[in-house]
Amino acid sequence: MDLNRRRFLQFLGAGAVGGISTAVTPAEASSVENISDGYGVLVDTTECIGCRKCEFACNREHHLTDLPLERYEDTSVFETERWLQANAYTVVNRHPNPENAAKPTFVKSQCLHCLDPACASACLVGALQRQENGAVTYDAWKCMGCRYCMVACPFQVPAYEYGNALTPQVRKCTFCASRTAQEGGLPACVEMCPQNCLTYGKRSELLALAHEKIAGNPELYQDHVYGESEAGGTSWLYLAARPFTELKFQDIGPEPIPHLTETIQHSIFKFGALPLMLYGMLGAVMRIAKGGHGRHAETTAEEEVS
Amino acid sequence: MAAEISYAPVQRRFFTPGVYVLLALVLTAMALAVYRFIFGLESVTNLTNQYPWGLWIGVDVATGVALAAGGFTTSALAHIFHRKRFEAVVRPALLTAMLGYTFVGLGLMLDLGRYYNIWHPAWPTMWQGNSVLFEVGMCVMAYLTVLYSEFAPIACERFIGRVNLPGRLASWNGIVDRVLRSVNGTLGRVMVLLIIAGVVLSCMHQSSLGALMLIAPYKMHALWYTPILPLLFLMSAIAVGYPMVVFESMLASRSFGRKPEMDVLTPLSAFIPIFLGIYMVTKIADLLMRDAYPLLFEGSFQSFMFLLEMGGGVILPFAMLLSSRMRRSSRMLFSASMLVVLGVLINRVNVFIVAYRPPHTQSAYIPSVAEVLITAGLIATLMLVYRVMVTLFPILPKEHPAHLPGDN
């Protein structure tokens, strides 16, 4: 009895050490560094006038609503914060400026298309995937509707069609993958923007442009490109004249969101080593415990494992 | 050690007032489930884009898996560590685990937007090994198979040698009997492997369930968000295994008018303070090492729920079960075991719902009445099926005639 109890406790101890050490081991080479330079959009919020034409273009492109363009001139929608929904892939919010009431800041929100997307890491059937060009796309055919992607997204982007009983989808910005696949094609919102607010291009070039702009006008811009390092980097990048937290941007560190879970997952289940070890150990315990009671011998599982 | 144990179907009146209450809950939930499948999740749940997981994931799935831990913990004790005296609780615990995991699947079907795609994770072209949920899903599917294989011999045992099909089908009696014998024989030869596999698979997905919420570091309350969450989930699953067995054994005894099996439950409960203590110490050490303990006094709903979970569900029953006098009292043992069970329930609800605080949220998630009724209905169905099963199959130990204790 004592022997076995001690063994069991030893095993638990080993498990505890294993659990902790895997949890604190830094992740293997960041997958972000190996990711090809995709496309992105630089959003210069200092240029945005809150015309919401990007919302109109997006809704028309994806057949989300058929409101006429004039209806987007209604500024009363800015009274309360609006957020992304199953029928709104992008929304513009107005943030009052405490220093100059006449100059509020408008911020366009949509999926940021992370370089190492938490939603894609979470999805157990690979319905969400990051494409070569940087777009994080969704394949409704694979989706089970578990909504773990929505739990995982640090920016709270994916929305769900809860009202659809049979074929509900996870809904979010597609980065207009079908448009940009064509030569010179732009995302609908970028094409529609009347200001110099949205710039589409290679992410590396956009980053260079962003830092150029900051260097060219350090009084105007915050010295921070949101999305350069947040969550390991995002395809959509932002410039602002005020601290990003004041504009309701999430304060997200540079570590890619999936690192911890993927590190735990891959260190514990690498080659199935830990489960097989546990299997062998339990097999051995079983044989010893049985022998200890002088019962008839039976094959234990160890042989099967090796 | 104890003599070979024999099991028998329970011979008691099936319909009692309690059974009618359960039936009412089942029928209500069935009506609501039909409504959900016709009109969608929006029509019955309070889930939102910010709160995509609610009561069904927190209770039906996460708590369901945790409370089914009695299956692998008793199987490990009786079959791997060879503590034969605990054989009496293995079959009911196995049945609870089998039904528990089956109902986890049913609960999940209700929650999944595209429930008809539930098989997708098993399809190799869709495997996504980075996903914690993928690992959980695969393990649960494998373990469910193991549980049914472990249970099959019990069903076979009931009918081998007395297959008696009605009317014309009677000519099949011989064939069915032979099939049962061969299934029984085959499973018997690999049973050792299955038993160990069941324990390994359980350790794997019980811990992985705890890793699920680690993908949301910026949304989780720091009282619960810790890199050792998977370890804590495994430890609490192991800790709740025996209390759950005690809890339901005593419930079943009471319901069937049998005497509580204190001769098994009291020695079994001696393990509880060990496992519960390991969990308690780890959880407290984790709070201290992460410097998260000041959050206990922030006066928020979260801090209250954490204190409730730890105080009422871990520390109190731990203290109670340290005393062997308490463990011998059926009333105290029942109360303490129920506290541990409730503590794990609160813990899972806390991790999956209370600790989860998403940005861009107007109002917090509170489950709808329909969600609660469906969860209650699932639990009621499980209890009814358990009752049917122990009435049909030899699962509970044969009752000893009062004058012959220890009868062989």
SS3 A182: coil
B6 touches chain A (CB under 8 A): no
Distances (CA, A) of B188 to A304, B41, B149, B153, B265: 16, 44, 10, 8, 27
Distance from CA of B335 to the nearest CA of A (A): 26
- Mutation target to probe the A interface, by most A beta carbons within 10 A, among B77, B81, B189, B235 is B81
The pLDDT tens digits for A124-141 are 999 999 998 999 999 999
Q: Write down the pLDDT at residue B15.
A: 87
A269 in a structural domain: yes
Q: What is the rounded CA–CA span in Å between residue B73 and residue B79?
A: 10
| Same-domain status, A294 and A180 | no
- Within this chain, do residues A209 and A233 fall inside the same structural domain, yes or no? yes
Chain A, 53 to 112: residues with Cβ < 8 Å from chain B are: 81, 83-86
* Domain presence at residue A175: yes
Element (H, E) at A3: helix A2-24
A299/B199 touch (CB, cutoff 8 Å), yes or no? no
Q: Is the pLDDT at A300 greater than 60, yes or no? A: no
The reported pLDDT for the residue numbered B133 is 95
pLDDT at res. A35 = 60
Q: What is the pLDDT of residue B400?
A: 65
Do residues A300 and A177 share a domain?
no
Range of the domain at A70: 35-116+171-258
> Are B355 and B244 a contacting pair, CB within 8 Å?
no
Contact B135 A269 (CB under 8 A): yes
pLDDT recorded at residue B404:
41
- Clarify whether residues A191 and A272 are in a common domain: no
For residues A88 and A190, state if they share a domain.
yes
Residues A254, A179 share a domain: yes
All residue ranges of chain B with pLDDT < 70 are 1-4, 400-408
Q: Within 13 Å, how many C-alpha atoms sit on residue A4's CB side?
A: 22
Final residue of a domain: which of A243, A258, A273? A258
Q: Is residue A295 part of a domain?
A: yes
pLDDT the model gives residue B394:
92
Structural domain tally of chain A? 2
- pLDDT confidence of residue A8: 40
* A151 lies in some domain: no
| C-alpha–C-alpha distance, residues B243 and B214, integer Å | 27
What pLDDT is attached to residue A267?
84
Residues A6, A110 within the same domain: no
Same-domain status, A248 and A275 = no
- Structure ipTM: 0.92
Of A124, A155, A160, the CB nearest to B133: A124
pLDDT in tens, A9-52: 444 444 444 443 343 334 443 445 556 679 999 999 999 999 99
CA dihedral for B119, B124, B126, B128, sign (positive or negative)? positive
Task: Note which residues in 146-185 of chain A have CB less than 8 A from chain B.
Answer: 146-148, 150-152, 154-156, 158-168
Query: Is A84 within a domain?
Result: yes
A286 and A268 within one domain: yes
Q: Is A128 helix (H, G, I), strand (E, B) or coil?
A: strand
Beta bridge partners of A105: A95
pLDDT digit string (tens) for B9-31? 988 888 888 899 999 999 999 99
CA distances A56 to A67, A191, A268, Å, are: 8, 11, 48
Summarize pLDDT for B60-83 with one digit per residue, the tens. 999 999 999 999 999 999 999 999
pLDDT averaged over every residue in chain B: 93
pLDDT at A21: 38
| Tens-digit pLDDT profile for residues A236-289 | 999 999 999 999 999 999 999 999 999 988 887 777 888 999 999 999 999 998
* A163 found inside a domain: no
Contacts of A224 (CB under 8 A, 6+ apart): A240, A244
A176 within domain boundaries:
yes
Ordered alpha helix ranges (H), B40-86 = 55, 64-67, 70-75
Check A289 against B207: CB less than 8 A apart: no
What residue has token string 């969600």? B371
In the structure encoding, which two tokens stand for residue B201, read together?
């698979």
Give residue B356's region: left, alpha or beta (phi > 0; psi -120 to 50). Answer: beta
Residue A152, domain member (yes or no): no
Asked whether residue A175 falls in the same domain as residue A288, the answer is no
3-state class of A226 per DSSP?
A: strand
> What pLDDT is stored for residue A10 in this prediction?
43
User: Which residue's entry shows tokens 């949220």?
Assistant: B361
A8/A90 same-domain check: no
Start-to-end C-alpha separation, chain A: 28
**How far is the alpha carbon of A210 from chain B, nearest alpha carbon, in Å?**
26
Q: Is B303 helix (H, G, I), strand (E, B) or coil?
A: helix
pLDDT of residue A165: 96
Out of B42, B135, B234, name the one closest to residue A265 (CB): B135
- The per-residue pLDDT for A23 is 39
CB nearest to A163's CB, from B40, B231, B356? B40
Give Cα separations from B182 to A135, B163, B187, B188 (angstroms). Answer: 55, 14, 8, 10
Same domain, A209 and A189: yes
What pLDDT score does A292 carry?
65
Alpha-carbon distances, residue B195 vs A3, A100, A173 (angstroms): 21, 71, 48
What pLDDT band is residue A290 in, cutting at 50, 70 and 90? confident
| CATH code of the domain covering residue A201 | 3.30.70.20
Q: What percent of chain A has pLDDT over 90?
A: 71
Considering only residues 229 to 258 of chain B, which have any Cβ-Cβ distance to chain A shorter than 8 Å? Answer: 230-231, 234-235, 238
